[in-house]
Structure formats: C-alpha cells, structure tokens
C-alpha cells in the first residue's frame, strides 16, 4: 500500500512538471510569433515603429505670367503662407509657411549638406530664393526653369538624376516657376550671377535633382 501511494504521488508530481514545461513552451512560442515592432500600450492602443518619410514631389506651374502672380499660384498650390517672424531656422518655422534665403547661404547649405537653414520673412535681396515648408515638415526650393525642363522635373519617380539650372527670378530664358524637394538636391558649386555687372541681379544655381532621396533634408518638426 505504501509503495503504491508513493508511486502514485511520484506519477502525479511528474505529470505536473510535464504540464508546467508544456505551458512554458507554449508561452515561448507565442512570444516568438508575436508581431515585431508593435507594443501593447495602456488602454488597448498600439505603437508602431516610425517609417522614414519620403521626399515630396516637385511642383511645376506650366503657365507663364508675371513673377508675382506665378509665386502666388505656387504658394496656393503648396498651401503655404508668409512667416510670422523676421528670421528663423527652418526647423523652427511653422509648417505651411514660406520664407526666403540669400543665394550664398543657400549655396553653402546645399554644398556642405547642412541639415538646417535660416529663413527670412521678407527677402533682404532681390535675388533671394524662396523656401516652402510643407504640412509634413519637408522643404521645397522655389525657382524658375526653362520651358523644356518642365516635363523632366514633373514626374515623381525619375529614372535618373537630372542636371537642373534653377534661376532666382523669371526671365525670357526661364519663365516657368517650379518647387523642387530640398531632400533630393545635390550641389557642387555656388550660385552664379547671370550678369556679372549686377551684384544683386538674378542668379542661377546649377545642381543635381536626384531620382531618389540621397541627402539629409532640413530638420523638420
């Protein structure tokens, strides 16, 4: 009788251990196959790992007109309004706003791959370039291009890098206004004067418009 009770107790103990091991394995398996990057949060909410933001598409107004009217049309299309302060960093500027940057400062930003730039509410020089900060925090550089460049800039997915000549002001040579994503621009030279005799005259910036986002854009919010 004693032996039978001992054997029965031992068997029960072993069964409990086996059950405990099985439960442990099931819990481990559930942990292995849980979705990666999603963590439960209080209240039943979940948090997902952030996804890298894509660069915005270029915007082209394929009509001609006065420079003031073309700028007004482009600002309406990108949904931006004037900065509320005199001068501020792009990273501090409110989304949905635009400002201006002097050509030498813009050239340094693009050549050195600086992640931020200073914006002026009102252009301090006649040949300043315009910068738009979109609702998603990304930036667009505004300028003027030749008519035959419009069809090459407009597609969001370009098969190859495009050499771009972006003028600070409109002219017979460059009558179309365009806004190109800062994150896709690569420059290896500073803006140059179109007329060397005019210090504040129109300038042109020669650079590459990449087919993919390969540089760090201005710091967003």
pLDDT for 70 equals: 97
Please give the model's pTM, rounded to 2 decimal places: 0.72
pLDDT score at 17:
55
Domain ranges within the chain, ordered by starting residue? 66-209
Bridge partners (DSSP) listed for residue 82: 98
- Residues 186-206: tens digit of each pLDDT: 999 999 998 777 777 899 999
Answer for the pair 50, 38: CB distance below 8 angstroms, yes or no.
no
DSSP assignment of 105-123 equals: HHHHHHHHT-S--EEESS-
- Run means of pLDDT, 10 residues per run, the chain, 221 residues: 45 50 44 37 36 69 94 97 92 96 95 89 96 95 94 75 94 95 92 82 93 57 43
* Residue (of 179, 200, 212, 182) closest to 90 by Cα position: 182
At residue 57, the pLDDT reads: 85
Tokens read off for 66: 């006065």
Q: Quick one: pLDDT at residue 196?
A: 74
Residue 186 exposed, middle or buried by CB count within 10 Å (0-12, 13-18, 19+): middle
């Amino acid at each position: 009788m004693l032996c039978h009770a001992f054997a029965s107790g031992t068997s029960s103990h072993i069964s409990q251990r086996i059950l405990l091991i099985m439960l442990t394995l099931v819990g481990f398996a559930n942990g292995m196959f849980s979705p990666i990057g999603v963590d439960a949060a209080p209240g039943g909410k979940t948090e997902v790992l952030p996804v890298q933001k894509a660069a915005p598409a270029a915007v082209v107004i394929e009509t001609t007109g006065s420079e003031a009217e073309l700028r007004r049309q482009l600002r309406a299309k990108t949904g931006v309004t004037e900065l509320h302060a005199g001068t501020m960093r792009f990273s501090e500027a409110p989304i949905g706003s635009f400002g201006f940057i002097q050509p030498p400062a813009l050239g340094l930003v693009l050549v050195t791959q600086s992640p931020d730039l200073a914006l002026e509410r009102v252009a301090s020089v006649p040949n300043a370039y315009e910068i738009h900060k979109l609702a998603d925090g990304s930036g667009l550089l505004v300028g003027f291009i030749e008519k035959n460049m419009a069809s090459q800039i407009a597609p969001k997915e370009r098969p190859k890098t495009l050499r771009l000549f972006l003028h600070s002001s409109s002219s017979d040579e460059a009558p179309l206004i365009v806004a190109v994503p800062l994150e896709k621009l690569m420059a290896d030279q500073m803006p140059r004067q179109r007329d060397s005799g005019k210090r504040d005259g129109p300038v042109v910036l020669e650079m590459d418009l990449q087919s993919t986002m390969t540089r760090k854009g201005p710091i967003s919010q």
